[in-house]
A and B are shown apart, each in its own frame.
Chain A
Amino acid sequence: MPNQQAAARRGFFESAPGRTIARNWALCFLVLMAVVFSFAGPGFFDLVNFQNILHLATGSFLLAAAETFVIITGGIDVSIGFVYGLSSVLTATLMRNLTLAGMAPGEAIVISCLVALLVCLLPGFVNGILVTRFKVPSFIATMGMWGICQGATLYIAGGYLPVMGAPESVSRIGNSFLFYIDPGKSLTFFHKPDYIANESVRQLARVFPSSLLLSIGVLLVLGFLLKYTKFGRHTYAIGGSMDASVRAGINVDRHLVIIYTLSAFVAGIAGVFDVFQTGIGNYTPTGANYELLAVAAVVIGGASLLGGKGGILGTAIGVILIAVLNNGLQIVGISSFYRYIGVGILLTIAVVIDQVFPDLE
């Protein structure tokens, strides 16, 4: 019966161009939205604004990329939002304490980041063990970890206040650009030319935020891992059919532990970067739903919660779609609360399209 209904709903989408549109609806919608905002919002269609969108979306890129792996295996990781906060608060606290202890800022920064990243392996590893050895459903295991990480974050931060006192150079690194161009005069990399005062740095053409370099780097590595390696093929295989993967000789348990650890690790990178971006350690507010927004981006990008489907490119498009929606609504002057509604509707569209065209892909 669903097939008949699906067939009845198709019509135009039976044709070749229709199918292309349906398959790439997220991309089409993104372009459409960008065009609308370009006309409706002054200042939307602007290099500075586009760079800003991508800069602010760095955390979302990383979280969604982490979630992509877990979702492809047919699981879900709702702890990453709080691993993100844990990593951020831990990094900032370590930086503050090490600097206060008299360590040089450079060393303090490097050590703090490494320690925070190592610590973030732990929740992921525990998630993986719970899911594989103890057969705890991934939603429950990671939801328990959600609570544990949130508690640990608030413990480290000592309450609901951001952690201050990281070295000043941290936010300078996080907010730097790859190229600084003073038209006709100079071109510098990573730092502004010396003869320009801090106050007038905005007159320079600043191109390619360093944060984008991080996002692209991580997404490329993860995308490569997923698409061109045995590890990636096994990930899809496990999501497609766990039984078949076991019979094909894949060490499913070990693979899943690695996936959950990887997921927490990438969320950890996002948290460390958050300190570089804001200069402080931010805990994750309870209602922030970073992890659910990451799931939304992954699903909008074409993944299925049943597993076996999805990819880094689609996820990236999903993240950009949500980011552009946020930014565009702000610029047009529509209350930013509509973005919650907007994301909700987009997500439903994504899944309904998936239902109506089960044979896409």
Chain B
Amino acid sequence: MNTRVSNNNGSLLASIGRRWVLGFIIIEIVFFSVAARGFMSIDTVQLILFYGTEVFLLGTGELFVIISGGGGIDLSVGFVMGFATVVSAKLMVLFATMGASPLGSVLLGCAATLLIGLIPGLVNGWLVANLRVPPFIATFSMLGITHGISELLLQGSPAKNLPNLAGEIGNGYFAYLTPSGSLSFFSRPEVARGQHVWAIIPNIVVLAFIFIAIFAFVLHRTKFGRHVYAIGGNRDAAIRSGIDVRKSLLKVYVISSLFATIAGLSYTLKYITGKADAGSGMLLDGIAAVVIGGASMSGGSGTVWRSLLGALVIAILETGLRILGLQTFTTYIVVGVILIMAVIIDQLFPNFNR
């Protein structure tokens, strides 16, 4: 199914309906600007991206699975993310005690975790593609398995004593601008007390968006990407036209797992710890991002760009409510309501988002 079929339905209502996510984001921004003093600022924008990194990543990974159709869903992302925080934290500590330099241990830890993080996806994909286990069941099993292994690795207490460098990377910014006009990358320049330094884009956000851009390219510009849409649109036709469905499905689940792992790495670097339940509440956010972005649960539709908008809706909401000092429960309720609303709007205006 082509994602850019021209839409002849040009009425005002239709064009609003088609862009309701954008409209909603504007409403959110206006609301929080009025409700929370100081919401409209560069810092807040960066904060939204910083706190929303995991949602952006999980949303993109989940998108691949949902597009692939056939009841495609990955329930394991939250705990694969937790698993990745635990593995990366443990490995960084291990490499540091073995005498590696802080930079070496952080980089090696991240690289090794990225490799290990492929395993849950490989197993999920193998179960779904080769043994025809429904994705819901296969990935729920993986949720349990990764949760169990993380807890076993931790033995009851969160991982700590990571190299300080991890936190510096995770909470650092890509570039710093001093009032005198000098620009420095990665490290905060020494300035006189009281002078303001503009910090530009958190490192984590830069890294996350490099990965997202790569996979947006993969989904929208490569043969594999077209195959994923084809499989989701009509699996039988995809098989008959000679697409290796098994191999593609395997890749889809590996990609989802990879994004969950990157989200885990982002968490480790941000909060300098590894926790089994680091991502336990993230499943709702990840799936909501994709669905708000207009992808159909039956597969074959959805784009990375729209999912990012969906994730942005959630990220603005969470940051805004955090600034307002409202507790988490408001977020849960509002995300739940928007999720349902998104689907209802798609049902009312079936010609959108195609």
Contacts and interface: CB of A to CB of B under 8 A. Distances in A.
Interface stretch (B139-147, B172-180, B194-202, B223-231): B139-147
A136 B347 contact: yes
Interface stretch (A148-156, A227-235, A262-270, A311-319): A148-156
A18 interface: no
A134 B343 contact: yes
Interface string B155-183: 00000000000000000000000000000
A12 interface: no
B137 A148 contact: no
A106 B161 CA distance: 53
Nearest to A147: B336
Nearest to A154: B329
Contacts of B152: 335, 337-338
Given A143-B287, A340-B147, A340-B148, A136 B344 contact: yes
Contacts of A306: 134
A229 to B, nearest CB: 29
Given A155-B333, A341-B148, A352-B131, 6 more contacts: A139-B73, A140-B287, A146-B336, A148-B336, A335-B151, A338-B152
Nearest to B350: A135
B281 interface: yes
A305 interface: yes
Contact of A292 (B75, B134, B339): B75
B305 interface: no
B145 A145 contact: no
Nearest to B348: A134
A135 B134 CA distance: 22
A139 B297 contact: yes
Given A140-B339, A292-B75, A340 B332 contact: no
B149 interface: yes
Interface in A146-177: 146-148, 150-155, 159
A140 B340 contact: yes
A299 B137 contact: yes
A337 B148 contact: yes
13 contacts: A140-B287, A143-B284, A147-B284, A147-B332, A150-B332, A150-B336, A286-B277, A289-B143, A305-B137, A337-B151, A345-B141, A347-B137, A355-B131
Contacts of A295: 136, 140
B335 interface: yes
B19 interface: no
B10 to A, nearest CB: 25
A274 to B, nearest CB: 20
Contacts of A183: none
A305 B330 CA distance: 32
A289 B144 CA distance: 10
A341 B132 contact: no
A119 interface: no
Contacts of B147: 287, 337, 340
B21 to A, nearest CB: 16
Contacts of B340: 130, 136, 140-141, 144-145
Contacts of A154: 327-329, 332
The 3 closest A-B pairs by CB, nearest first: A147-B336, A287-B280, A151-B333
A348 B329 contact: no
A42 interface: no
Contacts of A146: 284, 336
Contacts of B132: 2, 355
B71 interface: yes
Contact of B137 (A130, A134, A287, A348): A348
A287 B148 CA distance: 12
Contact of A151 (B291, B298, B329): B329
A346 to B, nearest CB: 8
Interface of B: 71, 73, 75, 78-79, 127, 131-134, 136-138, 140-145, 147-149, 151-152, 277, 280-281, 284, 287-288, 291, 297-298, 327-337, 339-340, 343-344, 347
B329 A140 contact: no
A146 B285 CA distance: 12
B213 to A, nearest CB: 28
A159 B339 CA distance: 23
B332 A148 contact: yes
A217 interface: no
A71 to B, nearest CB: 10
Contacts of B78: 287
A302 B143 CA distance: 21
A144 B339 contact: yes
B73 A144 contact: no
A347 B148 CA distance: 15
Contacts of B288: 143
Contacts of A159: 327
A136 to B, nearest CB: 4
B297 A137 contact: yes
A287 B329 CA distance: 15
Contact of B140 (A2, A135, A155, A296): A296
B69 to A, nearest CB: 12
Contacts of A352: 131, 133
A339 interface: yes
Contacts of B291: 140
B38 to A, nearest CB: 26
A153 B333 CA distance: 10
Contacts of A285: 280
B144 A344 contact: yes
Interface in A114-151: 130, 134-137, 139-141, 143-148, 150-151
Given A141-B343, A305-B134, A341 B149 contact: yes
Contacts of A141: 340, 343
A351 interface: yes
A68 to B, nearest CB: 15
